[in-house]
Structure 1
Amino acid sequence: MIKNTILILLSFALSNTWASEEILWQDWSASTFSQAKGTNRLILINVGHEGCTACRFMEENTFSDPAVIELVNANFVAIQVDSEARPDIGERYSDWAWPANAIMRPDAVQVLAFAGSRRPAPYMEILRKVINDHASGTLSPDKLAPYGAPQQAETAAFTDLRKRIRTLQDDVFNAKKSGVFESAEALRHLLLRSHLYGDNNARLLATKTLDGLLQQLDPSWGGMFYASFGSWDNTVPEKRLESQAAALQAYAEGYQLLADPKYRAAIDNIDKYLTSFMRSKQGTFFANQQDRLSGLPDGMSMDDYYVLGDKERRSYGMPTIDHAIYSDVNARIILGYVMAFEATGKQSYLDTAKRAAKHLIDKRQTKTGWIIQFMPSTELSTDKRVHVLTNQQLPYLRTQAHFGLALLSLYRATDNIYWRQIAIKVANALLPNLEDEKLGGFYGAPDDGTPGRRKPLEDNATAAHFLYLLGVLEKNGRYKIAAERAIRASASPTAVCREGRITGSLAMTLEIITAEYVEFSVVGDAKDDRTQKLLQAGRRLFEPRKLVHSESTGRYPQRSAPAMYICNDQRCTVPIYKPTRVASQAELFTYKVSPGKTP
């Protein structure tokens, strides 16, 4: 009995010693980089996220290999980053997504980066070569390392930059027959051009893409599969929250502009999935549903699984859900739901948006105004994660910019001053924490002593979009100046060239700024049904440049009945009393009506 007990205890001790042997991953922090420099050790970086199949493969097959563990721990300071929890680092390494692998010298100069997973043997071959080159002093900087912040502002006219981005986006969509769908801005940019200028080619490209993406929808449970390859129906069986946000936004505007019932059905499809599978008890939304299910029999793939109907799927179990809740992607979902409400008039969409936004504000807005990107939760605590997830609470640019746009959309849809006031707080926290006061533009995160801080192109474009519209609403030139500086300080030729097709936010923002805002102001008692009908008429219109709100007398005179004024810096309408006249008057602010005045 004693002998058996000793054997059991010894077995337990040995098994736990073995289980504790793993790569000693550390945070992306100043102390970690300082450690590497002080010990003259190479830096190994792994960036990915939970929805990434290749990331999971590498964790289960490579990073768990004893030889890999020994090699890494003996020669490297290893850093692992969840790209969604740290959007600034995720953006920086998105060129190599996912997983992104990079190696730096001890002085934090990148010498190598490569995309995708590797099996243990080829992975160790890469590492050993870098180790040997480091020992011989022959490591040279990687010419394709992430670009830094531009040292001077872009001076080209916005119309010239807009033309360059249009050409780039058109080339992408002309060749598009499938692809990753993670953001809607590029597609929305095509719809906006069709609306503003009567651009028939942009309209055709948009409808071709919208129709193609319908094949990436799950007809049973709903939801957008995040990617397709070769053809629209050859989907990757994984659903990411950013794909649902992109689909909500794209189909809401597609339906609003084109009135195609297929697009209305797509909105309902996405809502069904989000509210049935991805919504937390608090009303916010989980990060992704992975292409992973342990209950499948041998020979059945996740593709086979998703061919099945609801009942058959459930008999095998439910694919794993990553219960992390990220504020930036939730903000995009909130915006999508507001847009869906404006396009369809369905009140539950607006209620969903308000509930999610209110929870994030209550739990994640700091006293100084900025929004926290991630916080641990009870639901998340039971997840078996691939990546180390740290709770580094910093005011990330991506989070503030997307949340700001979501807040403005809620103000537009409700006329509730609360959302406008929160938007101002976010903007007033964004400026001192992240703006480069000298050159303009915004860094992805505050200076924390780590290398490679930069001004991400698309996130700066989103921030510019938010601040431009807020500046118009508040009649605050500081916000509008910051918006222009954000584009000039981030849209360098190098950045635009490197980002390539991922310039949808920049394209959208340039169109809005160069074509100017359209402000729908209703002067009248907010409790008057006539005031509400005028506001509703403005909201239901497809006009991505719009601001819709009521206001007291001051700028406009008090009339005998509630009146709407549609204005920008170039023109103003006569008072509009009938909701049926709003659309025709708003059309005067497009350039297809006055082609000679195209900006």
Structure 2
Amino acid sequence: MNIKWLNWEKASFEGAKRNDKPILLKIGATWCHWCHVMDETTYQDPAVIEHVNRDFTPIEVDNDSRPDINERYNMGGWPTTAFLTPDGELITGATYLPAADFLRVSEEVFKYYRENKDAIGRVIPKAMEIRRDSAEINWNIIDEIVGEVIDAFDPVYAGFGYGQKFPQADLLDLLLLYSVRTEDEASKAALILTLDAMRVGEIRDFDRGGFYRYATMRDWRQPHFEKMLEDNAKLLSIYLDSYLLKGDERYLNTAYSIRDFLLTDLFDDAFLGSVDADSKKVDRRIFTNWNGIAVSSFVKLFEVSGKIKDLDPAIKATDTILDTLYTRGEGMLHTEDEKGIKLLSDQVWFAGGLLDLYRVTGKHRYLESVKDLVEFTLRAFRWDETGLFFDSLVDEDLKFLSDKVWKIGDNSMLAGLLIDLSLITGADGYLSEAEALLKRMSAEYKQHGIFSALFGLAVDKYLRLVHIVIFGEEEEVKRISKDALSIFEPNRTLEILKTSLNPERIADLGLSDKSGVYACRRGSCMIFKGDAIKEDLVKFLKGGEPIGETSST
């Protein structure tokens, strides 16, 4: 006999109400070691099986398929063991529980439910109301977030925190940007020490490449062996940026090892989800949001290597997902195995990958899809009462999932995407949307601490509005790009235009020269030509006075 797990669906909750049984909600993941342990021990215990089947309505949820459910019910890790009322209200919960502990806790929950079920809905605290406050967007925001990141930095073993160590690529991205903007020694040291600790630590897989999800020890030892597409795609990007910043070949070689792992183990027609910690099996599902991150990273890899083979996976993955998970006017599905589930993260991260791919290929299919996804997002995910954007659209009639949740990372990504789209299309409406969203988050970010790192990156993008356009025919573009792209400018919006293939865009920008670099910084624009492009562009980006032609566009 086994536990009779049900799916997360309306019929399961109706059954719980009809039978007057509380819900046991198990949230796990294919890659999760302790999920497997609990499945093979606790949930195989005869007493547990009998108790759960008799007294509970057991529902099983996969974290990667339904991150929106995980966002609302996770109890601090995986597996999550949550106990709910038949109406979906959380009673209590835990993570991993051995059989004896599970029986003790679940029996207490069942007894409590029987004696207090009529009062539970009145005493469970509701989500805090979000006020519609706004605040100014300024450089102090970035200073404050970086200060929190530095406070969390481990000066002995690097990384963040003093227990288990996770890569936390978003924090590294912010430190990299801040060290470039300010030449701050503390942020530079935290960045380099962490990159080096991970690069040589046990959290890195030296056999197959890539990085494990986390290390259980403060000094990056004893990792859990699952490997995630999301983590490795982000780490590919930060090691490439760090190579561009420092010129250290070790960072480039680390990036190449991540590339090789992703293409060998996690790629078919698109990028695949994860590698299991125990069996080393690959979860072959395609998740839209993580693929968007991977596409952007492989575009960056192509910009660094100049090799079309590094761009091909991004093109193939993008085309596959556009053909299977995208409907014009209706947005992106999260994955094929959960029809109807659409996440804000799917729309914004995949649109970001599309826009990056458009920048280097000039294929208007990608740009038109970006604009369509953004319009869909602004329409379908807008939380009018708060001025923010909520996380999930689902085709299911479950009242408690309609309680909205907003995530600062995805909202920050949307703001940055709107800024990029404004600069590339010239449509001011996108910039106005980004500004309004950033002002709203400026009143909210402090409660998120170091997890507001992506917000810091979006603020920098808005305050600088750096737009660089390299234009000319193929050979001229190659020559100019060698100089212009050797300047490390994080958070730029870059376009590479072949003039004969993009006459309308060239005309829109008012570019009459055969070739050159058109650069803007917060609305001040200049055209650079000749042999001193690199030197003049560096001065311009740092706020100096280069010798160039002022543009009125």
Scaled to the shorter chain, the TM-score interval is: 0.7 to 0.9
State the shift of 1:428 in Å.
1.7
Letter in 1 for 2:386: L
SS in 2 for 1:279: coil
8 A contact 2:24–2:58 mirrored in 1: yes
Q: 1:126 aligns with which of 70, 89, 105?
A: 105
Which residue is 2:321 aligned to? 360
Among 479, 497, 501, the alignment partner of 1:533 is: 479
More strand per residue: 2
Establish whether residue 572 from structure 1 lines up as the match of residue 535 from structure 2.
Answer: no
Tell me the residue number matched to 2:550. Answer: none
The answer for the alignment partner of 1:555 in structure 2 is: 509
Find the aligned partners of 2:308 and 2:185 in 1 and give their Cα distance: 33
CA distance in 1, matches of 2:487, 2:123: 48
User: Closer, same or farther in 2 for the Cα pair 1:180/1:426, shift >3 Å?
Assistant: farther
Alpha-carbon distance in 2 for matches of 1:418, 1:166:
38
1:5 corresponds in structure 2 to none
In 2, Cα distance between equivalents of 1:536 and 1:502: 35
Structure 2: 5+ residue runs without aligned partners? Answer: 498-504, 547-553
How far is the alpha carbon of 1:31 from its aligned partner?
Answer: 5.0
Is the CA contact 2:457–2:491 (under 8 Å) kept in the aligned structure 1? Answer: no
1:165 Cα deviation (Å)? 1.9
Residue-by-residue CA offset, 1:322-356 (whole Å, 9 max, x unaligned): 22221211221111111222233333222222221
Whole-Å Cα distance in 1 between the matches of residues 409 and 182 of structure 2?
24
Q: What count of residue pairs does the alignment treat as equivalent?
A: 525
Residue 480 (structure 1) aligns with = 431
Alignment match of 1:424 (pick from 362, 371, 380) = 371
Q: Residues 544-573 of structure 1: CA distance to partner in whole angstroms, max 9, x if unpaired? A: 3222223312432412x3132100334222
| TM score, norm. by length of structure 2 | 0.86
Distance 1:555 1:50 in 2: 49
> Which structure 2 residues correspond to residues 39-188 of structure 1 after superposition, within 5 A?
39-93=19-73, 96-115=76-95, 117-137=96-116, 147=127, 150-155=130-135, 157-174=137-154, 177-178=158-159, 179-181=164-166, 183-188=168-173
Kept in 2: contact 1:87–1:398 (CA 8 A): no
**Of 394, 417, 421, the match for 1:470:** 421
What's 1:542 paired with? 488
Does the 8 Å contact 1:51/1:238 carry over to 2? yes
| 1:26 has 2:12 as partner | no
Structure 2 vs 1, CA of residues 592 and 583 (structure 1 numbering), >3 Å: closer, same or farther?
closer
For the residue of structure 1 that corresponds to 2:391, the secondary structure is: coil
Over 3 Å counting, the alpha-carbon distance change for 1:84 and 1:148 in structure 2 is farther
- With over 3 angstroms needed to count, the CA separation of the structure-2 counterparts of 1:217 and 1:530, relative to structure 1, is same
* Contact 1:412–1:539 (Cα < 8 Å) also in 2: no
Name 1:286's counterpart in structure 2: 272
User: How far 1:158 sits from its partner (Å)?
Assistant: 4.6
- Over 3 Å counting, the alpha-carbon distance change for 1:81 and 1:464 in structure 2 is farther
Cα offsets for 1:232-282 (capped at 9, x unmatched): 2432222222221122011011111111111011011111212222222x2
1:519 to 2:467 alignment? yes
CA 1:134–1:90: 2 relative to 1, 3 Å: closer
Aligned to 1:349: 310
* Shift in CA distance, 290/522, structure 1 to aligned 2, threshold 3 Å: closer
Cα distance between partner residues in 1 of 2:141 and 2:120: 34
| Bigger relative CO (Cα 8 Å, ≥ 6 apart) | 1
Are residues 185 and 43 of structure 1, via their aligned partners in 2, closer, same or farther at CA, if it must alter by over 3 Å? Answer: same
Q: Distance in 2 between matches of 1:517 and 1:459?
A: 20
Query: Which aligned segments of 4 or more residues in structure 1 are displaced greater than 6 angstroms?
Result: 141-146, 591-594
Cα gap change, 1:484/1:554 in structure 2, threshold over 3 Å: closer, same or farther?
closer
Long gaps (5+) in structure 1: 1-17, 294-318, 377-390, 595-599
Q: Is the 8 A contact 2:33 2:224 kept in 1?
A: no
Offset at residue 188 of structure 1 (A): 0.9
TM-score by structure 1 length? Answer: 0.80
User: Would the alpha carbon gap of residues 577 and 83 (structure 1) be closer, same or farther in structure 2, given more than 3 Å must change?
Assistant: same
Partner of 1:461: 412
- Which residue of the partner structure matches residue 327 of structure 1? 288
Q: How far off its partner does 1:72 sit?
A: 2.3
Task: Please tell me the residue identity of whatever aligns with 1:217.
Answer: R
Judge conservation of contact 1:48–1:97 (CA < 8 Å) in 2.
no
Contact 1:30 1:450 in 2 (8 A): no
Q: Distance in 1 between matches of 2:263 and 2:377?
A: 31
Cα distance, 1:445 vs structure 2: 0.8
